[in-house]
Chain A
Amino acid sequence: MATVTNPPAAGSPASIIGASVPRVDGPLKTTGTAKYSSDYNFPNLAYAVPVCSTISKGKIRHLDTTAAEKMRGVLRIYSNGKVPRLYRPIPDSRDAHVDEQRPPFEDEKIYYSGQYVAVVVAETAEQARAAAHAVKVDYETEKPNVSLDLSDGFTPKMKEESKRGDVDAAFSSAPVKVDETYVTPIETHNPIELHASVATWDGRRYVLYETTQSLMNHQAAMAQMLGVPREDVQVVMKFLGSGFGGKLWPWPHAVLAASAARDLNRPVKLVVDRHMMFTNVGHRPRTQQRVRLGAMPDGKLTCLEHGYASDSSMLDDVGENCGEATPYLYSTPNLRVRSAVVDRNLGTPTAMRGPGAVPGLFALESAMDELAIKLKMDSVQLRLLNEPAMDESNGKPFSSRHMKECLTTGAEKFGWAKRTPEVGSMRSGDLTLGWGVAACSWVAGTLDCKATLSLNDDGSARIACATQDIGTGTYTIFAQVVHAKTGIPLDRIDVVLGNTSLPPGPLSGGSLVTGSVLPAISRAADAAIAQMLAIAAAANDVPFEHHKPEELAFTEGRVHLKSEPASSGVPFGVILKKANLRSADGDGSSASSFTDPAMSKYSFHSYGAQFAEVEWDAGIARLRVSRVVSVIDVGKIINQKPARNQVEGAVVMGVGMGLFEETIYDQRNGHPVNNNLADYIMTTSADCPEIDVIFLDYPDKALNEYGARGVGEIGLAGIAPAIANAVYHATGVRVRELPIRIETLLNAEKRPPTRQA
């Protein structure tokens, strides 16, 4: 792939950037010693269990806690009117984002099924659960609206997200057209680690052990909702058992645990159970998307329109930005992207891995396949033909875009040239094969980050930052950069993350962490080394006595004269000891690309092409995804192993999005009926295809000195459309509503498969 200029010498510390490095926290996790947030226990710990609404719309007429209060171990039951004051977060606060803004128990109204109506705190978890079941609630019930049809969003009042040219005129005169509606269902985040809060209060300050993808945001938001100064809230989270976006922002249970801890003056633990995971901590909303494509007979796009609605709660308008990638993905003179949010009696939705772009690209990339079929053109060729030279939505150059190479490399690795376009024309034994392709893209950028590196007198290093590792390998990235800059062995580098008392770092969302933290770590290392050299220059009894700092160098943990080899130098720990200093410290920071004017001249994105093969056994309507090739352009890869891991995991999740996942709500009472891990179908190991991941590895130096963008989300963005396109190729059934179910293929299979003309 890319040729790197002046690659670091093999075996040199710098060569660890881009290598395949096992996770430094791996042994802690495989031995069960990594401490997750709900693992924290304290003397006098009390347990909180919420009572959830069994209706989706209406109000509480009467809440009877008489029996529950008398039960063994019960300390307190909180509910509307019987709870310490809780506040709303400040609207549009830049550093305190909350999706569900209503603090629990704010009024007696019910907005969605599962909404907390009370919380029981007791001496043991079992006592709290038993008492929670004994709370009797009398409701005034109204008919909820959980309608699956989101057409009510398609009104003249839709919000215009992007526009160029005249779509309507171009579409009406386009020789070849596609005009279809695509639907993606509500999906529920199902990380194996449940959301949890362990709240402690010492009479003045909170220390909160949380499951969060954003420590700093959590601190700020909790301070606002609890009504205390920010410095009185410390948030700790050392490990996260995945979040997928669901743990980006605080949810009501965290406020309840903290509030109870203060009120009772005891530590309180609240673990959200699996049923509540389906109602109280967000979900990916349902989307209904209309895509209109117009093209010339040669395949050149003349227009692209993408209009979409997603559902939100009655409480908050959290939209799913399906058109995120639409304005810049293809070259077309006429484009319009419009959005709408419709209200339903559901919990507030939130980000799920690749929010917006992932459901959006299901629609756009399915439509592109439909267009290719109408044009009788190869689907890869159609995309190559419409490759833009710049970001046509704003006229900016792309910082680094290799979409064409993603497509051509993927086609080669997958064997795309052997594809015969007729439906059902490819076979493997008794099975019909279907091959499909989709392009994918995801935003790139950096967020503010500060980090502090200490070079210690025992020869070790400590790097500290208030960001978090959500299971993706962030600990290891920190250790790699410190090693690359200092030569200190990985096992002597202490990476300290997951605590708001550290220098503030970025949230773990948007695939932004790696690109954001790299410059800060690098600069912290430079600063620490500079301080170390200044200390060394002032030291006595060293080979370089009486030399100036600028005559010294720091190589692989030794300070030496620039003119002499590193082996002549002195280990930095020895110099610190002589000077009676515990450490030499350096601070580093990097700025957000979203606010830095110097970076606003580029359009930063990541790209990819994903190819899927399905096996279709028509006799028993059995569909399996057998093979996926992903070619991913995310800049420089810092650590091959977890980067590959991210894309592989995304492919597995994409199979679920394509074929299995949907949260189903009973239309009569708005309650989810498949709210558990047996009935909410996700991919198992037995469903995993053969997965091939190729990174192009072109550094994006406009973004940061290493040229790294993020890799957490893009791997999901093309899978569902690639599968749907492959399913059409195998079966002749165009599925425009996910997931692709047996019954859809079974019923349609009775029709003779024909090629759409």
Chain B
Amino acid sequence: MIDFALTRAYNPAHASQLASKAETAQQGAQVRYVAGGTTLIDLMKLDVETPQRVVDINRLGLAGTEKQPDGTLRIGAMVRNADLAHDSVVMQDYPVLSQALLSGASAQLRNMATTGGNLLQRTRCSYFRDLTFPECNKRTPGSGCSAIGGHNRTHAILGGSEHCIATHPSDMAVAMMALDARIHILGVQGERDVPISEFYLLPGSTPHLENILKPGDLITYVTLPAPAPGARSVYLKLRDRASYEFALASAAVVIQAEGGHIRRARVALGGVGTRPWRSPEAEQALTGKPVSEPVFRAAADAALRHAQPHRDNAFKAELAKRCLVRALTTVTA
């Protein structure tokens, strides 16, 4: 860890102004916000992140969850994962989100981790986190990728490139993908909001750029649309052990079914993609179709059609398919 300055921000505009001095808001940012610190502090100890200034945003407010007049749910960026998971509205209207949150990390980490921070959670790729391996395009653009050709059991099979196959680790973001969340950002030009499906970038040839945030951008809220009538949702996470482990494959599904047919489907996968993986292919394969195992299987095949396995993770495609089939079976039972 290198020396850095710690500044406490007292309102969102102040935080944004402090962060706007950085040249990038992506890997290697000279200014970083710290909320729960569950990713950032780790990476600073590992010398993966070396900000000169850290802006403490824990006093900004933004820590409430509020039902809006239009039926949407507004979640402050500083709402802790544990609080959000146990929020009564979330538990009732968005069970997929509550389940996703509770499947992540440990109780201690969930008590610290925040909504905004979790959207920006960094990959668990060992090669990204360990400077012993000099080759990592995400950490040092142009240096190469150690994971391709290395131990890549936990790596992505969807959305990877020849430059990076690091998995996006968040469970929460997968659920938010399936819930059509919108992310509200305060930037130097003022406020804006984007659908979560447009928030994350694929690695391509620039894996160090992970999302659309620019210097000075601060996530202030996430909004979830009002729950569709009769919609049911579920999050299923598969991993080696029963707790405190990243997903090998996970599925978030939100389904509206009527008369034995699926009217509307939202499907997102975790643990397999370089970003939280929304699958329009699976959604299309489900929409209008009868609730049945062959349909689920066809949707799962469609979701993983373009999977690109590596040395140690070929099993993930089949595992993700089974995960999705089981999630769909459970949610429509």
| Given known A664-B151, A681-B241, A742-B240, contact A669–B315 (CB-CB < 8 A) | no
Which of A621, A624, A673, A747 is most buried by chain B, counting CB atoms within 10 A of its CB? A673
Do A684 and B242 have beta carbons less than 8 Å apart?
A: yes
Q: Is B243 close to A, CB under 8 A?
A: yes
Q: Interface size (B, Cβ < 8 Å)?
A: 34
Tell me, in angstroms, the Cα distance from A178 to B151 when the chains sit together: 33
Q: A742-B248, A746-B315 are in contact. Are A666 and B150 (CB under 8 A)?
A: yes
B221 at the interface (CB under 8 A from A): no
Min distance, Cβ B124 to any Cβ of chain A, angstroms: 7
Q: Which parts of B213-254 form the interface with A (CB within 8 Å)?
A: 236, 238, 240-246, 248
Contacts of A659 in B (CB 8 A): 240-241
Q: Are B151 and A666 in contact (CB under 8 A)?
A: yes
CB nearest to B313 among chain A residues: A743
Task: Confirm or deny: A671 has a beta carbon within 8 angstroms of a beta carbon on chain B.
Answer: yes
Task: Give the segment of B19-27, B72-80, B316-324 that binds chain A.
Answer: B316-324
Cβ B241 vs Cβ A684 within 8 A: yes
Say whether A231 faces chain B, with CB atoms less than 8 Å apart.
no
Stretch from B62-70, B93-101, B126-134, B201-209 that touches the partner = B126-134
**B40 close to chain A: CB less than 8 A:** no
Give Cα A683 to B319, complex, Å.
Answer: 22
Q: Which residues on the B side are within 8 Å of A686 (C-beta)?
A: 241-243
Contact (Cβ within 8 A) A683 B241: yes
Measured between beta carbons, the chain B residues less than 8 angstroms from A668 are 149-150
Q: Distance in Å from the Cβ of B53 to the closest Cβ of chain A?
A: 18
Q: Which residues of A contact B323 (CB under 8 A)?
A: 620
Q: Which residues of B contact A681 (CB under 8 A)?
A: 240-241, 245
Residue of A nearest to B45 (CB): A129
> Is the C-beta of A113 less than 8 angstroms from some C-beta in chain B?
yes
B146 contacts across to A, CB distance below 8 A: 666
Q: What CA separation (Å) do A666 and B151 show in the bound complex?
A: 6
Answer yes or no: B5 CB below 8 A from chain A CBs: no
A601 at the interface (CB under 8 A from B): no
- Give Cα A743 to B153, complex, Å: 10
Q: How far is the CA of A683 from the CA of B1 in the complex (A)?
A: 31
B72 to chain A, nearest CB (A): 33
A348 CB to nearest chain B CB (Å): 20
* A 646-664 contacts with B by CB, 8 A: 659-660, 664
Fill in one digit per residue for A618-640: 1 if any B CB lies within 8 Å of its CB, else 0: 01111010000000000000000
Contact A669:B133 (CB < 8 A) given known A659-B240, A687-B241 = yes
CB distance from B123 to the nearest CB of A (A): 12
B316, chain A: closest CB distance, angstroms: 8
Closest to B329 in A: A619
Which residues of B are found within 8 Å of A666, using beta-carbon distances?
Answer: 133, 146, 150-151
Are A133 and B318 in contact, CB atoms less than 8 angstroms apart?
Answer: no
Q: Select from chain A the residue with minimum beta-carbon distance to B149.
A: A668
Contacts of A687 in B (CB 8 A): 241-243
Chain A residues numbered 111-148 whose CB sits less than 8 Å from any CB in chain B: 113, 126, 129-130, 133
Smallest Cβ-Cβ distance to A72: which chain B residue: B3
Provide the B157-196 mask, 1 if CB < 8 A to any CB of A, else 0: 0000000000000000000000000000000000000000
A621-B126 in contact (CB<8A)? no
- Docked Cα-Cα span, A678 to B38, in Å, equals 13
- Judged by a CB distance under 8 angstroms, whether A38 is at the interface is no
**A621-B238, A743-B315 as given contacts; A673 in contact with B322, CB under 8 Å:** no
Answer whether A684 and B244 are a contact pair too, CB < 8 Å, given A130-B1, A133-B47, A673-B127. Answer: yes
The smallest beta-carbon distance between B60 and chain A, in angstroms, is 28
CA–CA, A71 and B45, complex, Å: 18
Which chain B residues border A747 with CB–CB below 8 Å?
Answer: 315, 318
Cβ-defined contact, A622 with B238, below 8 A: yes
Establish whether residues A742 and B319, one from each chain, have CB atoms under 8 Å apart when the complex forms: yes
Whole-angstrom distance between the Cβ of A187 and the nearest chain B Cβ: 15
Contact A746 B319 (CB under 8 A): yes
Min CB gap A610→B, angstroms: 20
Could you say which residues of chain A place their CB within 8 Å of the CB of B127? Answer: 673
State which residues 20-64 of B face A: CB under 8 Å.
47
Q: At the interface, yes or no: A741 with Cβ under 8 Å from chain B? A: yes
Q: Specify which chain B residues have a CB less than 8 angstroms from the CB of A685 in the assembled complex.
A: 243
User: How long is the Cα–Cα vector from A683 to B241 in the complex, in angstroms?
Assistant: 7
User: Does any Cβ of A come within 8 Å of B325's Cβ?
Assistant: yes
Which residue from chain B places its CB closest to the CB of A624 in the assembled complex? Answer: B242
Q: Which residues does chain B contribute within 8 Å of A664, judged by CB atoms? A: 151
Q: A224 within 8 Å of B by Cβ?
A: no
Complex Cα distance, B1 from A686, in Å, reads 34
Closest to A54 in B: B132
CA distance A675 to B240 in the complex (A): 17
Closest to B106 in A: A684
Q: How far is the CB of A586 from chain B (nearest CB, A)?
A: 49
How many Å lie between the Cα of A666 and that of B152 in the bound state?
A: 10
Interface check B326, CB cutoff 8 A: yes
Q: Beta-carbon contacts of A683-707 to B below 8 Å, as 1s and 0s?
A: 1111100000000000000000000
B240/A660 in contact, CB under 8 A? yes
In the complex, what distance in Å separates the CA atom of A192 from the CA atom of B238?
A: 26
Complex contact A678–B242 (CB within 8 A): no
In the bound complex, do residue A669 and residue B242 qualify as a contact, i.e. CB atoms below 8 Å apart?
no
Q: Is the CB of B326 within 8 A of A619?
A: yes
Bound complex: CA of A617 vs CA of B184, how far in Å? 41
Chain B residues in 8 Å Cβ range of A622: 238
Q: Which 10 A-B pairs have the closest CB atoms?
A: A743-B315, A686-B242, A686-B243, A673-B126, A684-B243, A54-B132, A687-B242, A671-B132, A620-B326, A673-B151
Q: What are 5 sample pairs from A and B whose C-beta atoms fall under 8 A apart? A: A113-B132, A671-B132, A673-B150, A681-B241, A747-B318
7 other contacts beyond A673-B126, A742-B238, with CB at 8 A cut-off?
Answer: A666-B151, A669-B133, A678-B245, A679-B124, A684-B244, A686-B243, A746-B319
Binding site for A on B (CB under 8 A): 1-3, 47, 124, 126-127, 130-133, 146, 149-151, 153, 236, 238, 240-246, 248, 314-315, 318-319, 322-323, 325-326
